[in-house]
Every structure is written in C-alpha cells, then in structure tokens.
Amino acid sequence: MKRSTVISIIQGVFAIALLLLLLGTVDYRLTLSLLTNLDIRFIFLAGLCYFLNNLLMAYRIKRILFYLGENIRFRLVFFSHMAGMLFSDFTPARSGYLYVALALNKRDVPLEKGMSAITSTYLYDLTFKMTVAILGAYFVYSYIFAESLGFVVIITFLLILGVITGYFIIMYPGEKMRNLLQKREFLRKILLFGEQSYSIQKYAPFILSITLAGWILRGLEWYLIVLSMHQLFLKPLDALLLNPLLTLFSLMPLTPAGWGIQEAGIVFVFTTMGIGATIAASFALITRFVEVGIDVIGIKEVFVKSTKEETLFAFYNTIPGDIDEKAFNSDMLVQRYFQRRKTEVIKNTLAVKRADVIIDIGCGSGVQMKEIGKNGYSLALGIDVNLNAIRFARERSLPNTEFIIADAQNLPVKSSSADRIICAEIIEHVKSPQLLVNEIARVLKHGGAVVVTTPNDKSVWGIYEFFWDVFGRGRNYGETHLRFFSESGLRSNFPGFSECSTQSLFFISPLFALFNRKALLEGGEKLDRLFERWGWGVSIILYARK
C-alpha cells in the first residue's frame, strides 16, 4: 500500500473519531425542534446571499479568463464554478474546487489558464481570510484560543504562508530559478503557470474588491441563519470574523474539518466560545443544507461532454434539417420576427448583384439563400456540417445553387473565388474563430464583402438565451455557443480588411413580440432604434470588405 494511501486512511479514521466524539454531546431532540421551527424567510435570504457571492466569484473568474485571452460565456463559467463548489463541499481542504479548471477545459479553455485564474484568486482570498481570522479573530476572540488550539492555528498559518511564498517564487523567479525550471517538461509547465499568474496580478484591486464583497455576503449569510433559528448567539461582527476563521480549520490536516466534514470545525469553535453543542451542530447542518442546496446547481456541468470537434458535429447532426425553415415561418411572432428582420438586414447590407458568386457558411436549410436569391446571383454555394440541413436544402432545388457538407474552419473552396459571403450565427459556434476568419479572407475576391452575425456579449442576450433554452423551440444555445464577442472584439478579428463596420439589432422588441401583437411590436422597434444606436442590441451585424 502506498504511503499516501496509508496517511489518507489515518486521517480519515482520526477525523471520524473526533466527529463522533463531538456529536456525542448533541441533544438530538432539541436539534429536531430547532430544525422544524426555522424561519424560512431568513433561510431564503441566507441562500440568496450565498448565491450572490457565487455569482461574484464566477464573474471574477470570467474577467480573469478574458484578460488571459479566453472570452467564454458567463453562464458556462458560472456552472463550472458551481460544480467546483459542490465538489469542494465534500473534499479535504476544499480541494475539489480545482474541478473548475477541468470543467472549463471541457469548454476548450486551456488547463493552465483555468488553473491560473482559480489559484491566483484563491490565494488572494486565502490571504485576506488569514488576515481577518488570525489578526481580527485572535484579538476579538482571544478567550477561545486554548494553548493547544493556538499552536494548531499558528502551524496552519505557517503552512499556508509557505504555499503562498512558493506561489510568489514561481511568479517572480530569478535567473537561477528560471534556468532550473527550464530543465524538465513538468517544471516548464510550472514556470508557464507562474508567468500567467504574474500577468493577472495587475488586476489585484478587482480581485480583492470581489473578495471583500464576498466576505460581507458570507458573514451576512451566517447571521441570517442565526436569525432563522430564533437564537441570537452571534452578532453580525461575530459572523464576519468567524467565517474566515473556520475556513482555516477546513485546511487543517488530521481534523474532521480538514477532511471535508466542516460541521465539526463549527461545533468545535462554537462550543469553545460557550455556545451549546446542540445549537452549534444545528447551525452547522443548516449552513451545510443552504450551501449544498445552492451548489447542487453545478451538478449539470459534471455530465457535460468535452467540446471536441467530433462531439460538436455529432450534436449538430441531431438537429432537424428544416429547423431554420420552421423558424422563418414560425407561428410564434417572436421567432418569425427575429429571423426575418435579421435576414432582411443581411440582405440589404450584403447587396448581392446578379453577377456575384456567393457562399453561405452555415447555410442551414437555405432560408437566407432563398431570400437573397430573389434578386438573383450568378452562383451560390451553401456549406453546413449538418447532413439533415443539407438534404433539406437540396430539395429546394434553388437555381444556380449547390449545397455541400464541410467544416467552416476548412472550406473546400478555391482562393479568391467569392464576391459575397454570409456567415450568420456561426462564428460563436466554432472552436477557432480566427481560423474561420482566415478562411473567409482566403476565399473572398479582392473587393469582396462578408456579413457576419453573432450574439452581442455586451447586451442582455444571455437572458434571451436562457429563456429560449428553457421555453423555446430549436437549438440548445447554451451548450453550443463557445465564444462571444462585443462589437469592437468582433471587428478586431478582421484586421486585414480594408473596411469593417458593425451595428447591433434588437433590444426590447423580441420581448414585445412574445405577446403576438403587432402594435406592441412596432412600439418595441422604436425603442430598439435608441438602444441599437448605443450598441446595446442583442445581435451584432458585421460588414467587412477585403
């Protein structure tokens, strides 16, 4: 048996023994009475505080990933974060939170970038909590520190300080250390990790501001749980100082809390302060229930498959071939309106002439080619990875038009052969947007033009996306949208084009269209014009000329 396995078994046995010793002092009848008489209003508010804290933590990871060049959708980061929180609830030293990097890696975020985003923020959190727990709690609650307990806290503090010191060494390696780390592949990865972590340090004020807000929300969460029990055994300041202190206990080896049974740490500290073991245990169980009840949101992410090309292609080929046709002619005003207005703008922006050769990348069932073809074109080629869509499109028998199966990132088309290219709602679905743009530039003739449409990252698109996934008909947008762009971010992908401009479409009108009343829709369109002028529309329309 490996040494690490033996140590783990000893830790587990010791942790369980200590936990059983603590639980032996609990009055279970009183615990049941406390649990059955909770004020649900305060429990709901406590859960809301915890949820808001997780939103802030996920937003912090998203922004750091953005700084590292990974513009991933917030909802994907949020679910990845919640999956990590769920694992951390039951793992020693909350180590399960590292699963966030693995979940993000499924979304094509490099593992080293995910780890850098997590560990850099975590060490700021840890340093902040150490400061509050060791300095604040020691002086305010000095009467709870028995000599043995104070020794354990100091040892834990030194261990954590050692980890932080090591982290700063790889971020700021001297020449000798850098040369040493260059000698082996594993050490080179550590060096790369340190370099990426170093690049994040300039965002320290942003990271710490989220840490501060999270500390207040967690302290408020604990105080609201106290109020729900009708037992005022903690003041708001107590909750603020004790929460970070008990985080340190969850990092202590050879303790139940360090083994992942965090309730033991709460019971131990609270009873040392003179709070009854039964009340302490009840508080710990309620806190666990509230937090795991929120963290379970992340369980969905555990079962998500990695976004490999073959997985994506397999998913797209489960989509019915006539889905775009049904959307364009839907009996739902909101769907019909959204598709037709966007197609009309594409048609007017692209201004196809009768002598033009056009390509529709991600043509679907061929709706847009049919509409553009009303004005005529010389030759058109529709490209999609969905065999069902290609079969349906071919049955249209559009004049001077062919449909083929191909990858948008590797077009089987001669260079400089197209006058006009349509790429509607495709760039956010590909793993390498720049490859797609390179292919567009290669295939276009000099003076040729392309229209690209995609959701606007700086808009309320996420709200539309969520409700459409839940209540709408068609694709599961949340699972297949891999990259998102702002107007400026999308334009930055077209540096070699002589002309490049963007506009945004829609804001409130799709919501008005839900009521299936044209008068309301017309009012919504008037409001749209105002917000579109500010770039707040949910859909970006890019026009670029080579």
Record the pTM: 0.70
pLDDT of residue 484: 81
**Contact criterion met (CB below 8 Å) for 98 and 85:** no
Catalogue all structural domains in the chain, each as residue range(s) with its CATH number: 30-302 (no CATH), 312-545 (3.40.50.150)
pLDDT of residue 45: 96
3-state secondary structure of 505: strand
pLDDT of residue 252: 58
Tokens describing residue 278: 């039964």
Backbone angles phi, psi at 424, to 5 degrees: -95, 120
Tokens describing residue 8: 């783990």
**Contact criterion met (CB below 8 Å) for 17 and 259:** no
For residues 107 and 482, give the distance between their C-alpha atoms in angstroms, rounded to a whole number.
7
Tokens describing residue 459: 């808009």
Q: Residue 143, exposed/middle/buried by CB under 10 A (0-12, 13-18, 19+)?
A: exposed
Residues facing residue 384 across a β-bridge: 405
**Which run of H or E residues covers position 401?**
strand 401-405
pLDDT in tens, the chain (546 residues): 555 555 555 555 555 555 555 555 566 676 677 778 889 999 999 999 999 999 999 999 998 888 887 878 788 899 999 999 998 887 776 778 889 999 998 887 888 888 878 877 777 777 777 777 666 555 445 545 544 455 555 665 666 667 667 767 766 677 777 777 677 766 666 666 666 666 667 777 888 899 899 999 999 999 999 999 888 778 888 888 777 777 766 665 555 555 556 666 777 777 777 787 788 888 888 888 899 999 999 998 888 777 666 677 777 777 888 888 888 888 777 778 888 888 899 988 988 888 999 999 999 888 888 888 888 889 999 999 999 989 998 988 888 889 999 988 889 999 999 999 999 989 988 878 889 999 999 999 999 999 999 988 877 777 766 666 655 544 455 567 778 888 888 998 898 899 999 998 888 777 777 777 777 777 888 888 888 888 888 889 999 998
For the beta sheet containing 539-545, the strands, ordered from the edge strand earlier in sequence to the opposite edge, are: 401-405, 379-384, 357-361, 418-424, 444-455, 539-545, 499-505
